[in-house]
Amino acid sequence: MINFDYKSIPITQKLDDLQSYYQTSVAFAQALGITRMTLMAWRDNPAKVKVKNQDKIDLLWCKYVFLPNIHSGSERVKGVALGDWLFEPAVMDKALRQMAAGSLEIETGTREIDFDAIVLDNTIPNNFRATSVAEVQNIHHITQEIAQKFDVEINAQQIKNWHKVLMRGLLDNAGEFSTKQRVLPNVATQLTHPDDIAEELQNWAREYANIKHLSDIARAHYHFEIIHPFSDGNGRIGRLIILAQCLKIGIKPPITNNNNKALYYILLEYAKINPTPLAYFLQACAG
């Protein structure tokens, strides 16, 4: 069994591992976008490493230390059986909230405690903008809707409908494909040209119409993200599609959040070569 809990590994070990990978402190510091003196200070006192820099370290560690050392077979990953999950309202509702909150946290940094304050207590946290409230309400609403109507056909129009709800009040073109070229930061993969999005997404829907395993879902997720059909919200809508696909085949959907996002992003990128590690990761994150 692969241990995906990279957060439990001390920051000092990650720094040592990455120092061995980069060989020199200068190269390591450049990769982090800091000075060599700052790196030395971190090694002497790891408590000085701020959260945003911990995220950088996690990404590098997952990519250059964890990934090369995991098994990369091509076996099918079935996922965790759903069981009575759909028939236990309290359990299902909590898991759905965690999925929605985690998916939003990855993109915007919104904490689960603030998410719950809005959807459970109807309380707006201090310093929350109207758009931040809309982001929470929208993803909570569409997550609940998909869980109740997961058996619908997942085609291009359905995805556009979900996106319209997800980005309502946030994008002028919510529910419409992007007409501009999109670029993923720090990723060399070429995204689908705007003129080809409609046809490519239709092909995607046909190719993954009869998924049977979590391995199929992992492959479909990578494929969807490189199509990247919308101007914003592609990650969130992609993870909502995972929710619908998992429920369709009777397996528990994954919960991704800031605690596992570094590995999620690294394995998503690696899925271009082999989606099996991503499938195992999604299985390990099943709510």
Backbone angles phi, psi at 74, to 5 degrees: -125, 25
Spell out the residues 6+ positions from residue 131 whose beta carbon is closer than 8 angstroms to its own. 169, 170
Contact 237, 176 (CB under 8 A): no
22 Cβ contact partners less than 8 Å away, ≥ 6 residues apart: 28, 31
CA dihedral (20, 22, 27, 33) positive or negative: negative
Q: Read off the pLDDT band of 130 (50, 70, 90).
A: very high
With tokens 């000075």, the residue in question is 35
Confidence band (pLDDT; 50, 70, 90) for 180?
very high
In 3-state terms the chain splits into helix, strand, coil percentages (rounded to 5) of: 60, 0, 35
Question: The tokens 């090694």 sit on which residue?
Answer: 43
Q: How confident is the model over 137-163, as a mean pLDDT?
A: 96
| Secondary structure of residue 282 in the 3-state scheme | helix
pLDDT of 1 strictly over 70: no
Distance of CA 119 to the CA centre of its chain: 21
What does CATH list as the number for 89-285?
1.10.3290.10
Please answer whether residues 139 and 116 qualify as being in contact, where contact means their C-beta atoms are separated by less than 8 angstroms.
no
**Residue 256 structure tokens:** 């991704």
> For the stretch 155-173, what's the b/e string if a residue is b when 16 or more beta carbons lie within 10 angstroms of its beta carbon?
ebebbbebbbbbbeeebee
Please state, in angstroms and rounded to a whole number, the distance separating the CA atoms of residues 108 and 154. Answer: 26
**Contact call for residues 57 and 49 (beta carbons, < 8 A):** yes
Range of weakest confidence among 77-86, 140-149, 155-164: 77-86
pLDDT (mean) for 85-96: 89
SS3 (DSSP) at 248: helix
- What SS3 state is found at 261? helix
- What's the pTM value of the predicted model, to 2 decimals? 0.93
For residue 27, pLDDT over 70 is answered with yes
Tokens standing for residue 228: 């990247």
Looking at every residue in the chain, the average pLDDT score rounds to: 94
Contacts of 126 (CB under 8 A, 6+ apart): none
Domain ranges of the chain: 11-69, 89-285
Q: Are the C-beta atoms of 59 and 53 separated by less than 8 Å?
A: no
Q: How far apart are CA 129 and CA 144, in angstroms?
A: 23
Q: Which tokens in the block code for residue 245?
A: 């696909």
Q: How confident is the model at residue 7 (pLDDT cuts 50, 70, 90)?
A: very high
**Pick from 22, 59, 101: nearest CA to 267:** 59
Considering only CA atoms, which of 7, 49, 10, 2 is closest in space to residue 259? Answer: 7
H-state helical runs in 62-88: none
Phi, psi (deg, nearest 5) at residue 187:
-125, 130
pLDDT tens per residue, range 182-224: 888 767 778 999 999 999 999 999 999 999 999 999 999 999 9
